[in-house]
Chains A and B, each alone.
Chain A
Amino acid sequence: MHYKVLTLVFSGWMLTAVTGCAQLPDKQATEQTLTFDKPTQSMSAQEAMSNGQSIKISTSQGEINVEPAVVSMAQTSLNSGAATGGEDDPWEGFNRAMFSFNHGAYKYVLTPVTKGYRTVVPDPARQSVGRFFDNLREPLNLLNHVFAGEINHAGSNLGRFLINTTVGVLGLFDPATSLFGLDKQPQTIGDTLAAWGVEPGPYLVLPILGQSDARNGVSVLAEGFVHPVNHVTHAPHNYQLRAVDGVDDFSRLSDTYHTLYNEADDPYIFFRNQYLQAQKRDMWFGKQTSDEQSENEN
C-alpha cells in the first residue's frame, strides 16, 4: 500500500502535467459557445455525465446527486465547431503535416538540447532563470487583465512586478509570493480574447509549439511580437507539450511526450482529442470555477 500511495500521488503530479491548461474562460464565453448536440433526455445517465452534467438518480436509499468522474464531452460541441463538422478539425491535412514536423524536431533537436541544458545548468539557477522571464511577462499580464476587466488581478500583476523587480533582484526571486502572498496571475492575449467572447475556433497545430486553436494561434503570434523573449527562452512546453505545462523540466517532459506518442495508435488523434476534450471541459467547468473564485475573493 505504501508504494501504491506513493504512486498514487505521483500520478497526481502526472495529472497536473497532463491537465495543466491555464486559461480560464469567462462565464459569458462558456454560456455562449457550449451546447449539447442532442437533448439530455435522450442520453443515458452516464452519457450525460460524460458530457459534464451532474445526475440525480433514485435508489432504494433515496435520491442521490452524482457528479461526473471523467468526461469526454463527446456530444458537446462549440457553436463555431459545430459548423465545421463533428471533429472540429477542418484543417486536418495541414495539422497532420505540422504534427509530423514537430515530432521530428522534438525527437532530433529539442530533446537532446534540453537534456544538455539540464545537465549543465544547476537546478536553482534554472528556477531563477524561469522566474526572471516570468517577471518580464508581468506588464503583459497586467495589460491583458485590464483589457479583460479583471482589475483585481491587474493590481496583483502590478504589485508583483514592482516587488519582484526591486526586492527580488530583477525578478530572479519571487518575494511577492513568499513574503506578500501575491500569487501569480498570468493572463495571455488568448485569455483576453476569450473574455471578450471570441470563440476558440478550429483546432490548429503550431510549429514547434504544438496543439492549439485559432484563437490561441492569434494570441501566440501577437505575444511573439509584443514579448518575443518569452517563447524563445522557455522550453516549448506549452502546446504540443501541453501535457507538461507548468513543469520546468523538459527532459522529463520529453519522456512524457515520447511515451504518449508511442502508446497511442494514432498519436495525432490522441494529442488532438486530448486538447479538444480538455478545451471543452475547461470551458464547461470554467464557469463553476470562476464563480467559486470570485466568491473566495469576496
Chain B
Amino acid sequence: MLFVSKEFVAFIAAVIAIYYICPKKFRWYVLLAASLFFYTMDDVRNLIYLAVTGVTSWGLCLILEHITSDASKSIKKIKDKEKKKEFKARVQRNKRIFMLLAVLIDLGILGFTKYADFVVSNVTALFSHRMRVTDVFVPLGISFYTFKTVSYVLDVYRGTSKAEKNFFKLVLFVTYFPQAVQGPISRWNNLSATLFEGKNAGLKPFASGLIRIFWGYFKKVVIADRLVVPVMALTHDHASYQGAYVFVAILMYAMELYCDFTGGIDITIGISECLGIKVEENFILPYFSKNIKEYWNRWHITMGSWFTDYIFYPLSVSPRMLKLSKWSRSKLGNAFGKRVTVYISCFLVWLATGVWHGAAWNFIVWGLLNFVVIMISQELEPLYKKFHGRFHLKDKAWYGAFEMLRTFFLMGMIRMLDCYRNVPVTFKSLGSMFTSWHMKVFTDGSLLEIGLDLKEYILIGICAVVLFLVSLYRYRTGRELREKISGSPDLTFACCLVLLMITIVFGAYGKGYNTSQFIYNQF
C-alpha cells in the first residue's frame, strides 16, 4: 500500500475508527494488527524477516537485562575492590557478546538483502568478471525498522532502556505501520511512552493531526508528484540538459524531495497525533539552515541522531580513538591534532550514512562529499568568525538569508548525486552550470518542453510561496501554523476542506501519471 493510494486513505480511516471504538487497554492490539496487515499486504515474506529480527532482539535483550540484574545482586556480596572491578569487566564482556549477536543478526539481514548484489558485483568486477546476485527479496522499509531495532538493543545494552518483556509490544514498536515506509527512526524510550497506552488524543491534537495529514498529502500529491516528471526528464537525458537546466533541476529536485519526504513524515506524524501517539520530529525547517551542520540537525533528524549516538560518539570516545587523539596532538599540535580523531569518526559516519542510503557508488560519494564540506567549513570557521566580526555580519538579516541560500544550493548540488545516480555524470552536469550557462533557456520556452506546461509552473510557483509562508511563520514564531488553526474546530474544518479540494483538483494523479513510489521507500 502506497501512502498515496485510495486503499491507504481508507485504511487509515478504518484504523483510527476501530482504534477509538476499542477499549483503551486493547488499542495497541489494533495497531499491531494494522501494522502486520500493512506488511502482509506488501508481501507475506516481510513477516518472516520481521519475525527473525523481532524474536532475536526480544530474546537477547531479555538475556541482557537478566545478566545486568543478576550482576547487580552478586556485586554487593563482593567486598574486595579489585575483584569488584574484575567482576564488572567480566559481566560487561558477557553482555557485549549478546549485544553483538543481536546487532549482527539485525545488520546481517540488512546487509544481505540490500548490499549482497553491490558487494559481489563490485568485487567480482575487480577480477574482470562481473557477477550479480539478483532476486534478493528486500523487505519493506528494512533500513528503517532495522535501525529502530538496533537502537533498542543498544539502549538496553547501555542500560538506558528497560528490555520489554511482552514480545508483541516489541513487535509493534518495530512494525508501527505509519513509520514503515520512511521513518522517522524512533527510539524505544520515546515511542513506547505513548504507543501502548491507548490514550485519547484530545480534540486539539486530533485536529492538528488531521490538518497535518491533509497538509502532507497536499505536499506529496500536488507538488512532489507533479515535479517527478520534469526531474526525471532533466536527469535521464542529462546529455541534452546541461548548464542552466541543471540549475532548474537542482531547484526542482530540492522541492520534490522536500515535499515528498516531509509530506510523508507529516502523514506519519499526523496519523500518530490522531491516535494520541508521540513521534519524534524528523524535519525542522531544513532549508532555513545557515550551514551544513545545522542542515543535518534539521533534515532527517532521527537518522542523523542515530548515527551520532550509535556510531559517532562511541567511535570518537573509544579507548583506541582517545589514544590516537593523544598521539596526534603531540605530533600535529594541539589545535589541529585535537580535530584529527573527530574527522576520522566523522568520515566513517558519513561513509556509513552513504551506504545506508543505498548500495551504490553515488550514495557513497554523496556521503563523503557531505563529510568533505563539513570538514572544510569546520576548518574555515575561525576565518569566518573573524570575517563576520569585522563587518558585523551576524546581525544582518540579508546576510542570514545569504547563508541560507548558500547552504540550500550547496546541499542541492550534492543531492543531485542521488538524482543522476551516476557519479561522473553528476560532476559533469554540475560543472556545466559554470561553463555552458545559457540564459535563453528561461525565455525561449525550452522549459515548457520538459513535462510541465505554463499553468503547472504557475501552480508550482503558488505552492512554493504558500510553503515558504507557512515555514516562515514557524521560523518567526517557533510554532506551527496548524497549532493555531487547530484551536478552532471551524478553522480546522475549513483548512482540511481547502487542502482536500486543492489536492483532489490539482493533484498529479490519475491517467498519465504513475503514483510515484516514495523516494525513500527502498531505504
The answer to whether A and B belong to the same complex is: no
